[in-house]
């Protein structure tokens, strides 16, 4: 165990020290780029690092782990036992091992004093798909420390899969510990013990939301765009987010009973200003009308709508328990308003003529019409946009830590936008902009 802790300490010192060498090759670039990013954030976020213990682990996860193949490392650590483990045990072990690596690294940062690091150019194997990057930590008044990185190239991307400190492999030292634990306690108990020991220490946030694809939903990639942004923003602020999906009325009930911290996706409306705290907006929802293809309806302004809708008496469908804002309130008397519990009901009922129109978000409309041909062959978006609603996380003003969580989210969202991660998430979900 002493060897492992020392190894982790030296590894972190080497990986994240500031370096001044010119980048000369891809494997070396990977190691040096990680050190540069980490150094910059250690300086910029010093106050938060000192006041929030877990934040250092978040920085490691954010800045180091993308350069490290922790899954391959976990497989090598388990060795022959990997194939004997069930799929669920493998997932549990990988998660626990990742947390173990992160915690070891974060602990090392507390002892790092900015030692100078010298890197050598990488040495490639004959096939050019594996590399060794040697480095040396230059210490004043003490012996220098050799640290070597093993990397592999898969599909043009280099990843670290082992670190050798003074001749001792980090993977091998972990492997010896895990093997001993499995031999003494059995596979299941050893994995369970590791999972219990290396649970994430991040402060938890629990928000509720209802299925609203493609923004939210268990079947959506990363639980949907809204969930992806909110999770990433909280992570940047050192929090771990859990999202519970349920009908909206249950979300409200569980917020009132303190089972949830708040809502993951809410529109900011005047009627909720006094009892609710809203974050900075993280998305905007453009509201449009859905109609049947043969209907002449379009939206320009209230005067035009007064003539068109007032003469026909349109049946308009909206979501139950949603507040659509003042723009909608100004025109709602021109319609026969009907409420539905789910988005799919709105589209289905317009298609089968139980409703004439539905008021929905433009991306929800585009997604629904493009993925459900039996509905889309009857429906189109009507010309014109009623309004744009800003999307926020919402927490009760009376909540003990609501303001703290709002501040943390706003800070994380700002960081996402500053470094381009926010735009990357939008692009990954193909959000129309």
Q: How confident is the model at residue 139 (pLDDT cuts 50, 70, 90)?
A: confident
Do 135 and 13 lie in a common domain?
yes
CATH number for position 164? 3.10.450.710
Sign of CA dihedral 303, 308, 311, 317: negative
Stronger pLDDT, 6 or 168, i.e. the higher one: 168
Read off the pLDDT of each residue in 271-300 and give the average, rounded to a whole number. 89
pLDDT at 395: 96
Q: Is the pLDDT of residue 287 over 80?
A: yes
Stronger pLDDT, 54 or 408, i.e. the higher one: 408
Residues with Cβ within 8 Å of 268's Cβ and at least 6 positions away in sequence, in order, are 278, 281, 389, 390, 392, 394
Q: How confident is the model at residue 23 (pLDDT cuts 50, 70, 90)?
A: very low
Do 260 and 278 lie in a common domain?
yes
First-to-last alpha carbon distance for the chain, in angstroms, is: 52
Distances (CA, A) of 381 to 90, 310, 340: 47, 20, 19
Do 176 and 254 lie in a common domain?
no
64/31 Cα distance (integer angstroms): 9
Residues with Cβ within 8 Å of 47's Cβ and at least 6 positions away in sequence, in order, are none
203/54 Cα distance (integer angstroms): 8
Read off the pLDDT of each residue in 125-140 and give the average, rounded to a whole number. 85
Do 169 and 214 lie in a common domain?
no
Q: How confident is the model at residue 20 (pLDDT cuts 50, 70, 90)?
A: very low
Read off the pLDDT of each residue in 207-216 and give the average, rounded to a whole number. 91
What does pLDDT average to over the chain? Answer: 84
Read off the pLDDT of each residue in 183-193 and give the average, rounded to a whole number. 91
Do 144 and 245 lie in a common domain?
no
pLDDT digits (tens, 9 = 90+) for 213-230: 899 998 898 999 999 999
Do 314 and 356 lie in a common domain?
yes
380/291 Cα distance (integer angstroms): 6
198/201 Cα distance (integer angstroms): 8
CATH number for position 355? 3.40.190.290
Do 99 and 6 lie in a common domain?
yes
Q: How confident is the model at residue 19 (pLDDT cuts 50, 70, 90)?
A: very low
Do 269 and 385 lie in a common domain?
yes
Q: Which of 144, 162, 197 is the last residue of a domain?
A: 197
pLDDT at 310: 57
Nearest Cα to Cα of residue 147 among 49, 10, 36, 29: 10
Q: How confident is the model at residue 18 (pLDDT cuts 50, 70, 90)?
A: very low
Stronger pLDDT, 166 or 179, i.e. the higher one: 179
pLDDT at 21: 39
413/230 Cα distance (integer angstroms): 8
Q: Which of 197, 232, 257 is the last residue of a domain?
A: 197
Into how many domains does the chain fold? 2
Do 292 and 317 lie in a common domain?
yes
pLDDT at 12: 45
Q: Is the pLDDT of residue 363 over 90?
A: yes
pLDDT at 109: 65
Read off the pLDDT of each residue in 136-145 and give the average, rounded to a whole number. 79
Do 126 and 262 lie in a common domain?
no
Domain containing 411: what range? 203-433
| Cα 206 from chain centroid (whole Å) | 14
Q: Which of 179, 197, 215 is the last residue of a domain?
A: 197
Do 173 and 287 lie in a common domain?
no
pLDDT digits (tens, 9 = 90+) for 77-127: 999 999 999 999 999 999 888 888 788 777 666 656 666 778 888 899 888
pLDDT at 7: 44
Residues with Cβ within 8 Å of 421's Cβ and at least 6 positions away in sequence, in order, are 232, 415
Q: What percent of the chain has pLDDT over 90?
A: 39
Read off the pLDDT of each residue in 205-217 and give the average, rounded to a whole number. 92
Do 25 and 50 lie in a common domain?
yes
Least confident range of 26-35, 107-116, 274-283: 107-116
């Amino acid at each position: 165990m002493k060897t492992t802790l020392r190894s982790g300490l030296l590894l972190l010192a080497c990986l994240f020290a500031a370096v001044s060498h010119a980048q000369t090759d891809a494997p070396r670039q990977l190691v040096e780029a990680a050190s540069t990013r980490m150094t910059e954030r250690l300086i910029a976020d010093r106050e938060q690092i000192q006041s929030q213990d877990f934040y250092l682990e978040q920085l490691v996860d954010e800045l180091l782990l993308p350069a490290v193949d922790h899954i391959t490392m976990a497989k090598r650590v388990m060795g022959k036992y990997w194939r004997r483990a069930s799929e669920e045990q493998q997932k549990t072990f990988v998660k626990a091992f990742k947390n173990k690596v992160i915690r070891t690294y974060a602990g090392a940062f507390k002892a790092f004093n900015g030692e100078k690091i010298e890197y050598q150019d990488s040495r490639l194997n004959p096939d050019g798909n594996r590399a060794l990057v040697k480095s040396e930590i230059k210490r004043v008044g003490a012996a220098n420390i050799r640290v070597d990185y093993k990397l592999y190239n898969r599909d043009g991307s280099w990843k670290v899969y082992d670190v050798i400190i003074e001749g001792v492999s980090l993977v091998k030292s972990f492997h010896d510990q895990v093997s001993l634990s499995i031999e003494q306690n059995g596979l299941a108990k050893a994995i369970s013990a590791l999972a219990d020991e290396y649970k994430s220490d991040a402060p938890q946030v629990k928000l509720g939301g209802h299925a609203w694809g493609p923004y939210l939903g268990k079947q959506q990639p990363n639980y949907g765009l809204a969930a992806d942004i909110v999770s990433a923003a909280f992570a940047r602020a050192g929090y771990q987010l859990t999202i519970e999906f349920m009908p909206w009325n249950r979300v409200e009930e569980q917020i009132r009973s303190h089972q949830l911290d708040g809502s993951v996706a809410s529109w900011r409306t005047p009627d909720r200003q006094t009892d609710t705290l809203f974050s900075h907006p993280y998305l905007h929802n453009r509201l449009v009308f859905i109609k049947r293809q043969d209907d002449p309806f379009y939206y320009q302004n209230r005067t035009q709508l007064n003539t068109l809708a007032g003469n026909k008496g349109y049946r308009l469908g909206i979501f139950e328990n949603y507040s659509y804002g003042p723009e909608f309130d100004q025109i709602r008397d021109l319609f026969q308003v009907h409420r539905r519990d789910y988005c799919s009901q709105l589209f289905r009922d317009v298609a089968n003529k139980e409703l004439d129109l539905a008021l929905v978000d433009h991306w929800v409309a585009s997604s629904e019409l493009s993925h459900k041909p039996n509905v889309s062959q009857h429906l189109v978006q009507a010309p014109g946009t009623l309004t744009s609603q800003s999307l926020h996380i919402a927490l009760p003003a009376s909540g003990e830590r609501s303001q703290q969580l709002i501040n943390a989210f706003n800070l994380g969202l700002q960081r996402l936008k500053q470094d381009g991660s926010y735009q990357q998430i939008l692009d990954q979900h193909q959000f129309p902009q």
